[in-house]
C-alpha cells in the first residue's frame, strides 16, 4: 500500500487529524504545514471522493487555487522586495495557520521597505530647533504610494505644530524649557485632550516641586524636623525601663516624677493619665490633668499628666523629668507620630520611657539621631505567671478574676450571662468615659463586684488586682480584619493577672482549649524586635498653612497629601496621614471654610464610624462656626438605652473639646459639663444594675 493510499484511509477513518501539504507561493514550492482534517473536508466535493489519487489531486488543486487568490494582490510587491524580505515572506507562509494574518503582515512589511516607519520632524521652540522622533501609522489593508506617505508625514507635522501651540498657550508664564525634552516629546505625541490634561498635571507637579525646593532651602521646618525643637539645646539622658507587664516599670518612672521639681507624664490612655495624676496628688503633689476630653487644672502646678497627643502644648516647656509610657506604640500606624514627637521634642535633661524589650532597636536608633545618651534597665516580672490548662466554667470562675473579650457587645453579653448566674460583674471597654471606667475599676478593686469583664483596654497599665485572667477568644478585629492575637498582645493582656502587691502569682487561661493553646504559645514565643528605620511624624498647622499659601492651595487634604509626597524630612523621618483621619478631613474639607477652622475640627478626637452622631454633629457645627453662629448644645432627647447614652456622651465630649479651642462659638460649657456628669451617672446606674439571676 502506498503512503498516499494509507494517509487517505487514515484521513477517512479519522485516525489522521491533519495532513502535510506542499504548495507554490510566488512560483516557489514550499511546505505550508499540516492542514486540519475538518478544513480539508469542508472543501466542497472532497468527502465524496473514494480514490486516493483523485482525492489528493483535487485537494492539491483546490488549496493551490485558494493560495493563489490569497497571494495574487501581492505578486507585484513581492517582486520588488530584496532577497531577505522574500525569504521572510515565504517563511511566514510555511505554516497553515499563518495564512489568515498574511495580508496585514505583508502590507506592513512592504510599507516598511518602501517608506520606512521612523523619521524625524523638526519644530522650533523659543528659537531653538526641537527634533521629534515620529512614526508612520500604516493602514492594515494596502500599500501606500510615496505621495500618500508624504501626505501622512505632513499631516503629522501639522498635528505636532498644533500641539506645540497648545502647549505654549497652556504654559503661559511657565517656562517650557524646564520640561525635559523626552517628556515634551511624549506630550506632543498625545491627542489634544490628553495633552491638555497631562500637561496641566505636569505643570502643577513641577510648580509644587519648585515651591517645595524653595521652602526646604529657606525654611528649616521643611528639611530638619528634629533640629527644630528646643530639646536640641540639651544633652539629654534617656532612661528606658524595658520589660514585661507587672514588672514595676511605670511605678519606678512615677517615683522619679514625684521626686522631681517639675515633671510631665505622657500616657497612651486617658484613664492611665488620670490614675497617675491621682497617685501624685495623694502624695501631696498638685498635678494638672490634660486629655483630649478632660482637663483638671491645678493653679501653680509644676506636674502634669497628659495623653500623648497633648504633648505639643509642652514642647517649649522645660521639665526636670519627662516620662513617655508604653513607648512601643512608637510603631503604631495611627498614633505612632505622637510618640515620635514626644521622644524627639521633650525639653528635659532626663527623659524616661517604659515598654517591652522589643522596642530596644528603635530607641537606640532614635536616640542616636537626637545625639542623646540612652541607658536601658531591663525589668523582670514581680510575680510568676502560669497558664491554666483547663477552660473555666462561667458559673465557677473565682471572684477577683478578669474576663477579656474584644468587643463592646461581647463584654456586655458576658456581664449579662454572669449576672443571670448570680455573679456580680463590672465592665471596661473603649466607649466608656474615664469617669465611668474609673468607677468600674474601683468597684472591682474594692470587692463590690466579683468579676471584671473588659476589652483589651485593660492591657495598658490599669491597676486591677486580679489573680486570674481569662480570654474568651484569641481573635480580635483590628480595624481592618479579624486576626489572631500577637504574642505581644497576649503578654500585655495576660500580664494583668497576678498584680504585684495583691497576688503572689498570676494565672492566664481561655474559654476553649484552642484559645489556651494560643495563649501558651504567645507567652512562650519571643517578640520580634520593633526596628524602625523611619519614624512617623505629623505636620503641624504652621507647616500646612505655609505650604498652602505657597501653593495657592485651598484644600487641607491636598496640602497634607502634598506634604507627605513631596516634603523631605531626611532619611530618618516620614510624614504620615492616618487613613481614618484622612477620611475625616475629606468630609470637612470645604475650601470656602477657613483653613485653620478645618484644621481645628480635623484635630478633634472623634470616634465611631462616618455616620456616628458625634461626626454628623461636628460637620454641622463646622458650618455654623463658618457662618459666624453660636453653636448650641446638642438636644439630648430621651436617653434610655446604653448605646444612645454613650453616643450622646461622646457628642458632648466633642463639644467640650471644641469649647476649649473655640470658646467664642461653643459657649455653653457649664451646661455641657453638667450634662456630661448626668449622663455618666446614668451610664453607671445602668452598668451597676444587676439583672435578675436564676438563683433569685
Q: List pLDDT tens digits, range 366-387.
A: 999 999 999 999 999 989 999 9
Residue that wins the pLDDT comparison between 592 and 133 = 592
Give the mean model confidence (pLDDT) for residues 449-466: 82
Most confident of 113-127, 166-180, 637-651, 675-689: 675-689
Instruction: For residue 570, tell me if it sits in a domain.
Output: no
Instruction: For residue 649, tell me if it sits in a domain.
Output: yes
Residue 341: band (very low, low, confident or very high) from pLDDT cuts 50, 70, 90: very high
Angle (CA) 248 402 283, round 5°: 40
Decide: 425 and 449 in contact? Cβ < 8 Å: yes
Three-state DSSP at 214 gives helix
d(CA 314, CA 335) in angstroms, rounded, equals 18
Give the mean model confidence (pLDDT) for residues 34-43: 76
- Picking from 218, 247, 274, the residue at the C-terminal end of a domain is 218
Instruction: For residue 412, tell me if it sits in a domain.
Output: yes
Can you give the pLDDT at residue 694? 44
Q: Among 145-149, 408-412, 454-458, 624-628, which is the least confidently predicted range?
A: 454-458
Q: Among 88-102, 274-288, 527-541, which is the least confidently predicted range?
A: 88-102
Most confident of 50-59, 454-463, 529-538: 529-538
Give the mean model confidence (pLDDT) for residues 440-450: 91
Ramachandran sector of residue 250 (left: φ over 0; alpha: ψ -120 to 50; beta: rest) = alpha
d(CA 679, CA 685) in angstroms, rounded, equals 10
Task: Inform me whether the pLDDT recorded for 1 exceeds 50.
Answer: no
Decide: 592 and 623 in contact? Cβ < 8 Å: no
Can you give the pLDDT at residue 560? 93
Instruction: For residue 656, tell me if it sits in a domain.
Output: yes
Same domain for 201 and 233, yes or no, is no
Q: Among 38-47, 352-361, 490-499, which is the least confidently predicted range?
A: 38-47
Task: Inform me whether the pLDDT recorded for 692 exceeds 60.
Answer: no
Same domain for 674 and 589, yes or no, is yes
Q: Supply the mean pLDDT for the chain.
A: 87
Please report, for the chain, how many H helices and E strands are present, in that order: 24, 22
DSSP 500: T
Decide: 92 and 104 in contact? Cβ < 8 Å: no
How do beta strands 321-324 and 263-267 pair? parallel
User: Would you say the C-alpha torsion 157, 161, 163, 164 has a positive or negative sign?
Assistant: positive
Same domain for 394 and 510, yes or no, is yes
Same domain for 138 and 245, yes or no, is no
Residue that wins the pLDDT comparison between 405 and 38 = 405
Same domain for 504 and 627, yes or no, is no
Can you give the pLDDT at residue 73? 84
- Picking from 524, 548, 566, the residue at the C-terminal end of a domain is 524
Instruction: For residue 359, tell me if it sits in a domain.
Output: no
Same domain for 212 and 235, yes or no, is no
DSSP 466: B
Instruction: For residue 625, tell me if it sits in a domain.
Output: yes
Count CA atoms within 13 Å of residue 238 on its CB side: 29
- Picking from 184, 218, 252, the residue at the C-terminal end of a domain is 218
Can you give the pLDDT at residue 454? 92
Percentage of the chain lying above the pLDDT 70 cut: 97
d(CA 24, CA 21) in angstroms, rounded, equals 10
Instruction: Specify the length of the chain in residues.
Output: 696
d(CA 480, CA 489) in angstroms, rounded, equals 17
Angle (CA) 385 388 389, round 5°: 135
Same domain for 266 and 212, yes or no, is no
Ramachandran sector of residue 387 (left: φ over 0; alpha: ψ -120 to 50; beta: rest) = beta
Q: What is the pLDDT of residues 246-269, one digit of tens each?
A: 888 999 999 999 999 999 999 998
Can you give the pLDDT at residue 255? 96
How do beta strands 475-477 and 482-484 pair? antiparallel
Same domain for 482 and 415, yes or no, is yes
Task: Inform me whether the pLDDT recorded for 663 exceeds 80.
Answer: yes
Same domain for 479 and 395, yes or no, is yes
Q: 564 is written with which cell numbers?
A: 507627605
Give the mean model confidence (pLDDT) for residues 482-487: 91
Nearest to 317 by CA among 346, 277, 279: 346
Can you give the pLDDT at residue 693? 45
For residue 679, give its domain range.
Answer: 578-696
User: Would you say the C-alpha torsion 639, 645, 651, 652 has a positive or negative sign?
Assistant: positive
Instruction: For residue 533, tell me if it sits in a domain.
Output: no
Beta strands in 44-188 (DSSP E): 118-125, 128-135
Task: Inform me whether the pLDDT recorded for 173 exceeds 50.
Answer: yes
Count CA atoms within 13 Å of residue 640 on its CB side: 1
Task: Inform me whether the pLDDT recorded for 456 exceeds 60.
Answer: yes
Residue 691: band (very low, low, confident or very high) from pLDDT cuts 50, 70, 90: low
Task: Inform me whether the pLDDT recorded for 521 exceeds 80.
Answer: yes
Same domain for 236 and 205, yes or no, is no
Can you give the pLDDT at residue 695? 39
When divided into structural domains, the chain yields a total of: 5
Same domain for 171 and 65, yes or no, is no
Instruction: For residue 539, tell me if it sits in a domain.
Output: no
The CATH number that applies at residue 454 is 3.40.50.300
DSSP 457: G
Residue 459: band (very low, low, confident or very high) from pLDDT cuts 50, 70, 90: low
Same domain for 488 and 408, yes or no, is yes
Can you give the pLDDT at residue 392? 92
Can you give the pLDDT at residue 696? 36
Amino acid at each position: 500500500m502506498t503512503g498516499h493510499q494509507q494517509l487517505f484511509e487514515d484521513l477517512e477513518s479519522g485516525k489522521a487529524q491533519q495532513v502535510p501539504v506542499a504548495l507554490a507561493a510566488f512560483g516557489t514550492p514550499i511546505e505550508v504545514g499540516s492542514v486540519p482534517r475538518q478544513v480539508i473536508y469542508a472543501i466542497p466535493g472532497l468527502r465524496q471522493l473514494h480514490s486516493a489519487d483523485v482525492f489528493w489531486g483535487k485537494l492539491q488543486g483546490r488549496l493551490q487555487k485558494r493560495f493563489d487568490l490569497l497571494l495574487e494582490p501581492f505578486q507585484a510587491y513581492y517582486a520588488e522586495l530584496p532577497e531577505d524580505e522574500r525569504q521572510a515572506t515565504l517563511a511566514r507562509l510555511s505554516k497553515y495557520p499563518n495564512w489568515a494574518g498574511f495580508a496585514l503582515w505583508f502590507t506592513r512589511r512592504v510599507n516598511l521597505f518602501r517608506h520606512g516607519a521612523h523619521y524625524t520632524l523638526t519644530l522650533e521652540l523659543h528659537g531653538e530647533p526641537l527634533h521629534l522622533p515620529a512614526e508612520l501609522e500604516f493602514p492594515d489593508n494596502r500599500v501606500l504610494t510615496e505621495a500618500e506617505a508624504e501626505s501622512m508625514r505632513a499631516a503629522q507635522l501639522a498635528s505636532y505644530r498644533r500641539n506645540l501651540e497648545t502647549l505654549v498657550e497652556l504654559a503661559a508664564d511657565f517656562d517650557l524649557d524646564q520640561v525635559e525634552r523626552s517628556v515634551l516629546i511624549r506630550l506632543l505625541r498625545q491627542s489634544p485632550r490628553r495633552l491638555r490634561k497631562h500637561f496641566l498635571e505636569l505643570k502643577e507637579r513641577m510648580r509644587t516641586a519648585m515651591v517645595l525646593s524653595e521652602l526646604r532651602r529657606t525654611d528649616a521646618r521643611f528639611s530638619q524636623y528634629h533640629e527644630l525643637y528646643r530639646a536640641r539645646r540639651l544633652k539629654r539622658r534617656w532612661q528606658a525601663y524595658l520589660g514585661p507587664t507587672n514588672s514595676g516599670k511605670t511605678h519606678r518612672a512615677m517615683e522619679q516624677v514625684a521626686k522631681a521639681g517639675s515633671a510631665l507624664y505622657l500616657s497612651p490612655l486617658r484613664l492611665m493619665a488620670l490614675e497617675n495624676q491621682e497617685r501624685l496628688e495623694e502624695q501631696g503633689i498638685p498635678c494638672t490633668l490634660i486629655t483630649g476630653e478632660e482637663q483638671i487644672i491645678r493653679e501653680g502646678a509644676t506636674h502634669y499628666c497628659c495623653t500623648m497627643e497633648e504633648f505639643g502644648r509642652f514642647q517649649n516647656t522645660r521639665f526636670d523629668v519627662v516620662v513617655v509610657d508604653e513607648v512601643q506604640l512608637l510603631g503604631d500606624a495611627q498614633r505612632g507620630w505622637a510618640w515620635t514627637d514626644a521622644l524627639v521634642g521633650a525639653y528635659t535633661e532626663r527623659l524616661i520611657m517604659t515598654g517591652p524589650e522589643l522596642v530596644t532597636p528603635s530607641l537606640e536608633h532614635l536616640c542616636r539621631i537626637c545625639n542623646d545618651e540612652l541607658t536601658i534597665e531591663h525589668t523582670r516580672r514581680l510575680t510568676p505567671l502560669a497558664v491554666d490548662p483547663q477552660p473555666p466554667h462561667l458559673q465557677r470562675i473565682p471572684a477577683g478574676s478578669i474576663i477579656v473579650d474584644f468587643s463592646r457587645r461581647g463584654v456586655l453579653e458576658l456581664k449579662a450571662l454572669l449576672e443571670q448566674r448570680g455573679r456580680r460583674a463590672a465592665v471596661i471597654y473603649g466607649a466608656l468615659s474615664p469617669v465611668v471606667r474609673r468607677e468600674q475599676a474601683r468597684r472591682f478593686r474594692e470587692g463590690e463586684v466579683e468579676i471584671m469583664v473588659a476589652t483589651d483596654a485593660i492591657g495598658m497599665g490599669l491597676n486591677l488586682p486580679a489573680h486570674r485572667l481569662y480570654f474568651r477568644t484569641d481573635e480580635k478585629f483590628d480595624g481592618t480584619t479579624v486576626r489572631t492575637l500577637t504574642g505581644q498582645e497576649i503578654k500585655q493582656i495576660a500580664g494583668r493577672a497576678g498584680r504585684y502587691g495583691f497576688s503572689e502569682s498570676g494565672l492566664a487561661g481561655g474559654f476553649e482549649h484552642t484559645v489556651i493553646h494560643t495563649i501558651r504559645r504567645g507567652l512562650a514565643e519571643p517578640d520580634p524586635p520593633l526596628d524602625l528605620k523611619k519614624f512617623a511624624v505629623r505636620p503641624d498647622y504652621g507647616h500646612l498653612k505655609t505650604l498652602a499659601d505657597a501653593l495657592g492651595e485651598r484644600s487641607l487634604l491636598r496640602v497634607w497629601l502634598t506634604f507627605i509626597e513631596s516634603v523631605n524630612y531626611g532619611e530618618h523621618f516620614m510624614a504620615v496621614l492616618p487613613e481614618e483621619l484622612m477620611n475625616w478631613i475629606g468630609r470637612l474639607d470645604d475650601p470656602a471654610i477657613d483653613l485653620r477652622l478645618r484644621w481645628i475640627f480635623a484635630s478633634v478626637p472623634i470616634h465611631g464610624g462616618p455616620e456616628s452622631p458625634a461626626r454628623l454633629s461636628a460637620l454641622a457645627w463646622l458650618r455654623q462656626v463658618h457662618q459666624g453662629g453660636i453653636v448650641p448644645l446638642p438636644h439630648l432627647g430621651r436617653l434610655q438605652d446604653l448605646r444612645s447614652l454613650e453616643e450622646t456622651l461622646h457628642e458632648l465630649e466633642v463639644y467640650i473639646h471644641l469649647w476649649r479651642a473655640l470658646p467664642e462659638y461653643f459657649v455653653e460649657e457649664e451646661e455641657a459639663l453638667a450634662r456630661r456628669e448626668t449622663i455618666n451617672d446614668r451610664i453607671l446606674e445602668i452598668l451597676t444594675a444587676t439583672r435578675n439571676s436564676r438563683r433569685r
